[in-house]
């Protein structure tokens, strides 16, 4: 997810494992990710890559598919709290919603009002295979929903109302990064299905 406080100083801003972020149009972003089954060195490396890349890009969260890895892992940096969650299961708490600007590191520079639940609880594992849970409201809740969506091949664009989605599509077509690093993908102007299988996904 885009937009976050600046990266913390000290050990958190090391750039050693920063890798490039996949952009909208890359099929990996539209592919449901696989559950993690091995809590090994490779997974710890992935968590580090996610965390370092997220901090380098000043994002509030980053999901593994955004690094081209189709596994159910994301990192977050919200309210000075840095962490990660593996195989998340999200419970939407209550009926209250929030509406506010949301962005995605795979659609650089684009922000649109996106409705989300106000409170969530997410349960999962840490990189050592120990059960953990995150309880959050507002930005944390938004981040958890945004990143978990990534693991299902869903983008925040899919959560926009019809009118806003139309505006978003125009902005994507005009974005200077569109068509870079990925094969050219046709974007249909005819409604939400443009984001379905044809793009098979940030
Ligand atoms: Zn995103």
Task: Give strand pairing partners of 73.
Answer: 86
- Neighbouring C-beta atoms of residue 157, cutoff 10 Å: 23
Indicate which residues carry an active-site annotation.
147
Query: How many whole angstroms separate alpha carbon 16 and alpha carbon 200?
Result: 31
User: Ligand 1 centre and the CA of 157: distance in Å?
Assistant: 10
Q: What per-residue confidence (pLDDT) applies to 5?
A: 53
Counting DSSP H helices and E strands in the chain, the numbers are 3, 5
Q: What per-residue confidence (pLDDT) applies to 180?
A: 67
Torsion region of 179: left, alpha or beta (phi above 0 gives left; psi -120 to 50 gives alpha): left
The answer to whether residues 65 and 29 touch, using CB atoms and an 8 Å cutoff, is yes
List of E strands, 64-173: 73-78, 81-103, 111-125, 131-137
Q: What per-residue confidence (pLDDT) applies to 178?
A: 87
Return the sign of the alpha-carbon dihedral for residues 189, 192, 193, 197: positive
Tell me the whole-structure pTM to 2 decimals.
Answer: 0.82
User: Ligand 1 centre and the CA of 198: distance in Å?
Assistant: 19
Q: What per-residue confidence (pLDDT) applies to 196?
A: 30
Low-confidence ranges of the chain (pLDDT < 70): 3-17, 180-202
Q: What per-residue confidence (pLDDT) applies to 4?
A: 56
Q: What per-residue confidence (pLDDT) applies to 179?
A: 74
User: Ligand 1 centre and the CA of 197: distance in Å?
Assistant: 18
User: Ligand 1 centre and the CA of 104: distance in Å?
Assistant: 4
């Amino acid at each position: 997810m885009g937009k976050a406080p600046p990266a913390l100083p000290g050990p958190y801003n090391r750039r050693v494992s920063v890798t490039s972020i996949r952009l909208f149009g890359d099929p990996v972003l539209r592919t449901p990710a696989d559950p993690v089954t091995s809590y090994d060195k490779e997974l710890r490396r992935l968590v580090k890559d996610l965390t370092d890349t997220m901090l380098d890009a000043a994002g509030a969260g980053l999901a593994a598919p955004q690094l081209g890895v189709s596994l159910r892992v994301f990192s977050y940096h919200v309210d000075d709290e840095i962490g990660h969650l593996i195989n998340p299961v999200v419970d939407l708490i209550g009926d209250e919603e929030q509406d506010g600007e949301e962005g995605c590191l795979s659609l650089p520079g684009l922000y649109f009002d996106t409705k989300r639940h106000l409170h969530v609880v997410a349960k999962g594992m840490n990189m050592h295979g120990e059960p953990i849970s995150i309880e959050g409201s507002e930005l944390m809740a938004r981040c958890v929903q945004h990143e978990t969506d990534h693991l299902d091949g869903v983008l925040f664009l899919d959560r926009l109302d019809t009118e806003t989605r139309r505006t978003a599509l125009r902005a994507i077509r005009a974005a200077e990064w569109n068509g870079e690093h990925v094969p050219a993908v046709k974007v249909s102007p005819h409604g939400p299905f443009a984001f379905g299988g044809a793009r098979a996904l940030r």
